[in-house]
Amino acid sequence: MLLDKQETKYLAMDTWFKTPQGRRVADAFTAELAPIYEQLKGERLLQLGSCGENRWLSLLKFNVKWLINPCLLPPKTAAVSSLTALPIERDSIDCIIAPLTLEAFERPKSPIDEIDRILKPMGYVIFFGVNPLSFWGAALRWNYLKCFGVVSSVTLMSSMTLKHEMMHRGYRQCFLDSFYYIPPVTSEYFIDKLEFFNEMGKMIWPFPAGFYCLIMQKYQYVSPFMTSKQAEEDLVLGKKTSLQTISQWLHD
């Protein structure tokens, strides 16, 4: 996706999160992370795109928190960049938050590969996505939901499809939950009136939840160097290879 198209969508998304509808969704995102705040900690946190007040960021225990946007939104934006070509070193971020990120991109141009590139081994990526089978998915598909402005097409990916894509890249699931049963009404009055749907949905599931939260952890196999430099030199002098020694040690 060209940078100007990303800019249009992410400006609209930041504006939408300031509406009554968007603020209520932001509160739901924040509540989803509340039970696991203590487990999410580290040095560097990166969020892709700005979501109004970004209420959940203040509660996460990271020393550095960055926002990268395709558009300039001072003072929140740390850098302006395409989300499919991030100016960040490989394996340098401890946690990435991707709120409604995949929905803004066409499937071949998804930022998943960039997320995988910059995330550290054992780091976490948090996806907030729209359930394709929900009322919210239908509203976004029919352009009734204006969180990305007026767009011709969006990408809707189920949590299971996303989970499988990440597992193929060596990730493991840490957390998965579906939440928010209020239909995509825009009036604050109706949002308040339909609040009871959230409690009903937890008990009898009358219709699919609007959103999901999926947290995956990046695993990377490591082959540690098991011999010291002196031991390696002794092996060479004895005309033996370290591979033979390590193999024997593993079998013993």
Domain with residue 182: its CATH number is 3.40.50.150
The whole-number average pLDDT for the span 175-179 is 95
The whole-number average pLDDT for the span 219-226 is 60
Confidence check: pLDDT of 205 > 80 = no
Higher-pLDDT residue of 110, 158: 158
Mean pLDDT, rounded, of the chain: 85
What's the domain count of the chain? 2
Q: In this structure, are residues 186 and 103 in contact, taking their beta carbons and an 8 Å threshold?
A: no
In a shared domain, residues 26 and 132:
yes
Higher-pLDDT residue of 200, 21: 21
> Given this model, what pLDDT does residue 221 score?
61
Confidence check: pLDDT of 85 > 70 = yes
Percentage of the chain exceeding pLDDT 70? 85
> Given this model, what pLDDT does residue 206 score?
74
In a shared domain, residues 116 and 187:
yes
- Spatial neighbors of 241 by CB under 8 A, at least 6 apart, are 235
DSSP-derived letter for residue 5 is H
In a shared domain, residues 213 and 228:
no
Q: Find the domain containing 88 and state its range.
A: 3-221
In a shared domain, residues 163 and 245:
no
Taking the C-alpha atoms of residue 97 and residue 46, their distance in angstroms, rounded to an integer, is: 6
In a shared domain, residues 79 and 135:
yes
The whole-number average pLDDT for the span 36-44 is 89
Taking the C-alpha atoms of residue 122 and residue 40, their distance in angstroms, rounded to an integer, is: 12
Taking the C-alpha atoms of residue 122 and residue 5, their distance in angstroms, rounded to an integer, is: 33
**Which of 77, 52, 72 has the alpha carbon at shortest distance from 7?**
72
Confidence check: pLDDT of 110 > 90 = no
In a shared domain, residues 116 and 216:
yes
Taking the C-alpha atoms of residue 89 and residue 102, their distance in angstroms, rounded to an integer, is: 21
In a shared domain, residues 140 and 94:
yes
Residue-wise pLDDT for 185-199, tens only, equals: 999 999 999 998 888
> Given this model, what pLDDT does residue 152 score?
59
In a shared domain, residues 187 and 236:
no
Confidence check: pLDDT of 231 > 60 = no
Confidence check: pLDDT of 40 > 60 = yes
The whole-number average pLDDT for the span 17-38 is 94
In a shared domain, residues 207 and 233:
no
Task: Collect contacts of 151-155 with beta carbons under 8 A, ≥24 apart.
Answer: 151/9, 153/106, 154/103, 154/104, 155/102, 155/103, 155/104, 155/105, 155/106, 155/107, 155/110
pLDDT level of residue 55 (50, 70, 90 thresholds): very high
> Given this model, what pLDDT does residue 248 score?
38
pLDDT level of residue 224 (50, 70, 90 thresholds): low
Confidence check: pLDDT of 92 > 80 = yes
> Given this model, what pLDDT does residue 199 score?
83
DSSP string covering 191-205: HHHTTHHHHHHHHH-
Taking the C-alpha atoms of residue 99 and residue 9, their distance in angstroms, rounded to an integer, is: 13
Q: In this structure, are residues 61 and 213 in contact, taking their beta carbons and an 8 Å threshold?
A: no
The whole-number average pLDDT for the span 113-132 is 96
In a shared domain, residues 197 and 249:
no
The whole-number average pLDDT for the span 116-126 is 96
In a shared domain, residues 78 and 201:
yes
- Spatial neighbors of 40 by CB under 8 A, at least 6 apart, are 33, 60, 61, 62, 95, 124, 126
The whole-number average pLDDT for the span 198-203 is 82
In a shared domain, residues 177 and 233:
no
pLDDT level of residue 73 (50, 70, 90 thresholds): confident
